[in-house]
Structure 1
Amino acid sequence: MDAKGLRAGGRGGQSGGVAGEVWLREERPRRDTLTRDRITAAAVELLDEYGTAHLTMRKLAERLEVAAPTLYWHVRTKDDVLDLAVDAIFAEVAIPARTGDWTADARTLVLRWRATMLRHPWSPTLIGRPMLGPNVLARTEFLQSTLARSGRTGAALAAATHGLANLTVGAALTESTWHGQLPRTSAYELIRANADRYPTLAANHHLDAPDQDALFDQAVRTFLAGLDQDV
């Protein structure tokens, strides 16, 4: 995702920094009672309430009841805040206990991952950012090490990891974006009314699946079954 539109001014209102940069800098020594954890928790609250478009450094400072210069001591830009917030919600994705079935372990992780993103519907739009936070990396490590148990290495392992991660993010993005918009039944009625143009879509009730959880679970099972057979 292009994060250009999500950036806010840095210290003194000047632009600066890029997505992901916060993870490449050491946290500055504290000179007040404010902490990154408090900033991150407040940012997640605001994002849950208003989404990314309406999150501003001013609103964040007001939520924390601090002056803007105090906030900028800990985070330089809105990009910093977004990176911290995305990583924070990944802490909600419980890492599964390893079993003897690598496909089951991978499935459990991504089901939890999608559920977390749907609880924070702003998050799927930000997953294209450099994901270098400790919570994200810990879960990505689990996912790739789990898929490595299939016998894959190198490019084949990378492709499997990216494929499953992109399936998960894409599903969450579609669902969170669709939520509150045009009803799926109305969309399916359009397809059915033009069944001569879209016979396969009409016959298989494209966009009319009543249970999105079950649909995603089946998609994951299908993906993993293909990996299991392709080793």
Structure 2
Amino acid sequence: MRSVWLRPRRTAKEEPPLTLARIVEAAVALLDEEGIDRLTMRRLADRLGIVAPSLYWHVDTKDDVIDLAVDAIFGEAPPGTPKASGWRANVTEVLTAWRAALLAHPWAAAVPARRRPTIGPNFLAWMEILQSTLASAGFTGDRLAAATWALYNHVFGAAASQTALHVTDEERRAGQELLRADGRYPTLAANGYFYDDDWDGSYATGLRYLLDGLEAQLD
């Protein structure tokens, strides 16, 4: 079993003083400060003030640590009971919480696409609310799966782009000038392609388009 969530936990009469909760807390802090590429078991052990082999009582690999850290950030704001304000509002509430978690911890946005499924208990609690909301609205079977992943991909894709893409003012100016001078990209040149960085607005409008389309399927 590759996923840490699908393997049984080790047990012993006396578990070491180092706890899994401490490991995860330190991992999230390290990832926030230095990013995913800088995370190693040795660096995590140094942060905890222990020797690296002590980590292996709780986790087998660095990927285990990342899986646990990802789930931890989705537990920072536990899901509540969906409000009786309509399925669109409830879906938007779930996705707003996901986006906030991803933007607060930029390293996490690209992890699901690069690694294993997100199946920790905190994230699954949110996913249960999302799918139960969609199911209550009338989506079933393949339509439920398609609606779920369209919304999931919108949030994670938008957050990954926002946190990873960094363009300087000079690059924007030079890039836009290139579009105007080349002549093969008139629409991009006319609409300021390199200056399109209204992340919040584009995300909100895209979500509205998705919800409008889903609602049309129900109608």
What is the TM-score of this pair, normalised by structure 2?
0.88
Cα deviation for residue 46 of structure 1 reads: 0.6
Q: Give the distance between the partners of 2:197 and 2:27, measured in 1 at CA.
A: 33
Give the 3 Å change call, closer, same or farther, for CA 115–55 of structure 1 in structure 2.
Answer: same
Cα deviation for residue 111 of structure 1 reads: 2.1
Counterpart of 2:110 in structure 1 is 125
Counterpart of 1:104 in structure 2 is 89
Whichever residue aligns with residue 48 of structure 1, its letter is: D
Aligned partners of 1:188 and 1:205 also within 8 Å: no
Unaligned runs of 5+ in 1: 1-16
| Larger helix fraction of residues | 2
Is 1:61 the equivalent of 2:51? no
Give the 3 Å change call, closer, same or farther, for CA 187–27 of structure 1 in structure 2.
Answer: farther
Q: Give the distance between the partners of 2:30 and 2:67, measured in 1 at CA.
A: 14
Whichever residue aligns with residue 43 of structure 1, its letter is: A
Counterpart of 2:74 in structure 1 is 90
Give the 3 Å change call, closer, same or farther, for CA 42–158 of structure 1 in structure 2.
Answer: same
User: Identity over the aligned pairs, expressed in percent?
Assistant: 46
Give the 3 Å change call, closer, same or farther, for CA 190–124 of structure 1 in structure 2.
Answer: farther
Q: Give the distance between the partners of 1:77 and 1:38, measured in 2 at CA.
A: 16
The CA RMSD measured in Å over matched residues stands at 2.1
Is 1:171 the equivalent of 2:155? no
Q: Give the distance between the partners of 1:187 and 1:147, measured in 2 at CA.
A: 45
What is the TM-score of this pair, normalised by structure 1?
0.83
Is 1:143 the equivalent of 2:130? yes
Unaligned runs of 5+ in 2: none
Q: Which has the higher contact order (CA 8 A, sep 6+)?
A: 1
Q: Give the distance between the partners of 1:226 and 1:187, measured in 2 at CA.
A: 37
Alignment of 1:67-86 (within 5 A): 67-86=51-70
